[in-house]
Amino acid sequence: MAEEKLIIPILASLDEPLGADKDSVITALAAKIAASGRADENKLVSDLLAREAKSATGMPGGIAIPHCRSQAVNTSVLAFARLKEPITFGAPDGPADLIFMIAAAEGQGQEHLQLLKKLAQKLVDKNFLAALRSVDSTEKAAQIIREAVSPAAPPVPTPAPVEKQKAAPRVTPEKAAPTSHAPLKPAKLRRKDQKTADEQDEYLVAVTSCPTGIAHTYMAADALLNKGKELGIPVHVEAQGSGHLEPLDPALIAGAAGAIFAHDISVQDPERFAQLPLVDVGVKAAINDPEKLIQEAIAKAKAPQATSASAVEPAKKAKISSWGGLIPKAVMAGVSYMIPFVAAGGLLIALGFLLGGYDVADPAQDISLNFSLWKLPDAGPFGEGKILTNRSGLPLYLGALLVFLGQTGMSLLVPALSGYISYGLAGRPGIAPGFIGGAISSIVGAGFIGGIVTGILAGIIANWLSTLKSPRWLAGMMPVVIIPLITTLLMGLLMLLLLGRPLAALMSGLQNLLNSLAGSSAILLGIAIGLMMCFDLGGPVNKAAYLVASAGLSQATDGAYEFMAAAMLSGMVPPLAMALSATLRPKLYSPAEQQSGKAAWLLGLSFITEGAIPFAATNPLRVIPSMMAGGAVTGALAMALGVGCRAPHGGIFVLFAYSNIFGALIALLAGVAVGAATVTFAKMNRKKPVAAKA
């Protein structure tokens, strides 16, 4: 059976010395998984440490759940360790002695995911944890875990009461459609002295989600579920994790007293809960103190303004109070959704230039629409500008096709940025107004600055409109017709009547500034770009610099190309510098860091700055300043040497898109050398160097 393959005795460790820190424990457990033939050790360690660097995996109660989804894993697997000396994994209540390592395989079916979810649910069961703390053999430990995740295991009480409650005359929690979180049927989880569903006056609905969607999502869900059972307040949870999602029944949501969002990523379709008092927190808050969240939600539901006549007010207040946090997250989400448009469009244009030459840009549409494989173009002239090209025939035609496709993709860059910013703030009702606003921004010349503004405006307006109470006969049309219509009208008028021209002037000024920079001013700009790209290794500051660089490519100016080159080359420095330092002086790094260093070579060459995160997570005060020094050198040299890049991504693999390949290599190598030397020197002079372990 699949659950028997999830953990076997050799994957369990009882009171063995696995190391003095969490990296060592993670490395040791990953080695056990690799020894069982289920994964490649080096890549698995790298992926686990990269996930650990994003957020701590320590949980209250002495538990840690290091986990990742990785291409290094061929069969989803779990390793377990009971530590004699607890190790700190970042939990608020202290170190952990029970370590559950979940390694999920990319692309495997839902069966393994369901097993992993069941384990996450058991981590809030005190009897389950007590059994593992007292077990005396690895065989018994593996058996306890297998039994806990067995699909045949009943979800607590018997199903007898369910049949009785299904006959209830009105819509109740028991009659609602099952959710993606299997044990979330309160009828199965009520106490003998608890009211039945028909007698129950209040219940709550909740959504939980985390970036990985395996462990924290379901632990938070079960913490809310179990605490609700204990308090006599049913909580129905929609766990938005990996795999198939079964949303909460709309009738169940409509009858709830309030809602809880415990999430680290955006909630899917949040407008479904717009009429409910809302408690909005991170996913770990639900794991650490579910009772506080339930009591807060009930308190909001019982507040005077939470009557049936004005039930939207608490939710509205909760949203407004978090604008300062929502807007930056929405902008980052917009940038993330925009990057595929930039990558696809920019790389297609770069490939088109490789085939058809740089002078194919202007006549690309003319050639693509008026010629074919059976009617190949000559060297021109093309269009009203009578443009001549250096190439002709099949290379020119294929190059024009690729450039035309890329230009089409790049033309959607600003609308996508605006649309997904608006989506991050208002959900689906904000998508259309955001895209339309981005298109307006492109037409009036406001560029990506206008796209950010229109996305925020559309999101705020659509969000506000979604909180307004509407008649029942109109409610169904609100998110589909009314909200997009009114939002587009208001946002469009604001852009065309008030904001469009000033934003266009600002964008034009920025372009002129980039094109006019030369000498010392260009070098200073390159230093600033390098510092930003290396400051947070793929975080908001890095993304802000990359957004300006990649969005500028659509302007097709020399200044924009040089900005892009400085950003891409600087972003390659951190992983390459850390890989070089770990290769030359391995004794300064832990075994886990040495493994990360091997993976960082390819990540750096591919322009994936996040490859340096495992190093920065363990020693940020030495690593980050060193990387910023290397990035500043690369950015300054790239600008000083006039290096330009027409591709938005690809790192060393798009050298053909650089206007000064020799200068690009000099700038990159110099920055990597400075970064590696600086971080090596910093590590050599710390008080207690880390000795390499076998």
Residue 396, judged by CB atoms within 10 A of its CB (0-12, 13-18, 19+), counts as buried
pLDDT (tens digit per residue) in 561-601:
898 999 999 999 999 999 999 999 888 888 777 877 888 89
Q: What is the mean pLDDT of residues 404-429?
A: 87
Is the torsion defined by CA of 235, 241, 242, 244 positive or negative? positive
Which listed residue (68, 210, 534, 645) is catalytic? 210
The answer to whether the CB of 502 falls within 8 A of the CB of 610 is no
Amino acid at 512: N
Residue entry with tokens 């019982």:
302
The CA angle 174-176-180, to the nearest 5 degrees, is 105
User: pLDDT for 600-610, tens place per residue?
Assistant: 898 888 888 87
Average pLDDT value for residue range 18-27: 88
| Of residues 414, 488, 426, 408, the one with CA closest to residue 452 | 414
Flag whether pLDDT at 672 surpasses 90.
Answer: yes
- Whether omega before 154 lies within 30 degrees of 0, making that bond cis, reads no
Token pair listed for 620: 């940020």
Enclosing H/E stretch for 547? helix 540-552
pLDDT at position 568, please?
93
- What is d(CA 694, CA 689) in angstroms, rounded to the nearest whole number? 16
For 453-488, give one letter per residue: b (16+ CB within 10 A) or e: bbbbbbbbbbbebbbeebeeeeeeebbeebbbebbb
Tokens standing for residue 175: 């009659």
The CA distance from 221 to 209, in Å, is: 9
Q: How confident is the model at residue 60 (pLDDT cuts 50, 70, 90)?
A: confident
Tell me how many degrees the CA angle 198-201-207 measures, rounded to the nearest 5: 100
pLDDT at 49: 84
Tokens of 362: 């202007």
* Residue 534 among the catalytic residues: no
Q: Which residues pair with 262 in a beta bridge?
A: 208, 281
Q: Does residue 13 register a pLDDT over 70?
A: yes
Higher pLDDT, 220 or 244: 220
323-356 helix and 540-552 helix, angle to the nearest 10 degrees: 40
pTM over 0.85: no
Determine the Cα–Cα distance for residues 547 and 539; give it in Å rounded to an integer.
12
pLDDT in tens, 316-330: 333 334 566 678 777
Residue 351's alpha-carbon distances to 34, 276, 348, 379, 648, in angstroms, are 40, 51, 5, 19, 12
Amino acid at site 529: I
Report how far residue 549's alpha carbon sits from residue 561's, in angstroms, rounded to the nearest whole number. 8
670, 641 contact by CB (below 8 A): no
Most confident of 206-220, 352-366, 677-691: 352-366
Q: Three-state SS across 643-691?
A: CCECCCCCHHHHHHHECCHHHHHHHHHHHHHHHHHHHHHHHHCCCCCCC
DSSP structure class, residue 305:
G
Q: What pLDDT was estimated at residue 610?
A: 76
Confidence at 98, pLDDT banded by 50, 70, 90 = very high
How big, in percent rounded to 5, are the helix, strand and coil portions of the chain? 65, 10, 30
The secondary structure of 543-602, three-state, reads HHHHHHHHHHHHHCCHHHHHHHHHHHHHHHHHHHHHHHHHHHCHHHCCHHHHHHHHHHHH
Amino acid type, 152: A
Q: 380-402 pLDDT, tens per residue?
A: 788 777 788 888 889 999 999 99
Q: Which residues pair with 103 in a beta bridge?
A: 68, 77
Strands 67-70 and 96-105: parallel
Q: Tell how strand 77-87 and strand 96-105 pair up.
A: antiparallel
Query: How far apart are the C-alpha atoms of 33 and 535, rounded to whole Å?
Result: 34
Quick check: 654 pLDDT over 90? no
CA distance 8 to 145: 10
3-state secondary structure 336-349: HHHHHHHHHHHHHH
Cα separation of 584 and 577, whole Å?
11
Report the C-alpha gap between 416 and 413 in whole angstroms: 5
DSSP 65-99: --EEEETTBSS-EEEEEEEEEEE--S-TT--EEEE
Give the number of other Cβ atoms within 10 Å of residue 23's Cβ: 25
Cis peptide before 290 (omega within 30 of 0): no
pLDDT tier, 253 (very low <50, low <70, confident <90, very high otherwise): confident
- Looking up tokens 């290091």 gives 66
Torsion (CA) 135, 137, 140, 145 in degrees, nearest 10: 70
Q: Which amino acid is at 464?
A: W
CA trace torsion 535, 538, 544, 545 (10° rounding): 70
Q: Is the pLDDT of residue 475 over 70?
A: no
Taken in order 449, 451, 456, 460, the sign of the CA dihedral is positive
Sequence-ordered alpha helix ranges (H) in 55-137: 110-122, 126-134
What is the per-residue pLDDT for 306? Answer: 44
Mean pLDDT, the chain, whole residue set: 79
Contact 104, 68 (CB under 8 A): yes
Token pair 């060297």 in the structure block, residue: 379
Report d(CA 301, CA 692) in Å as an integer. 57
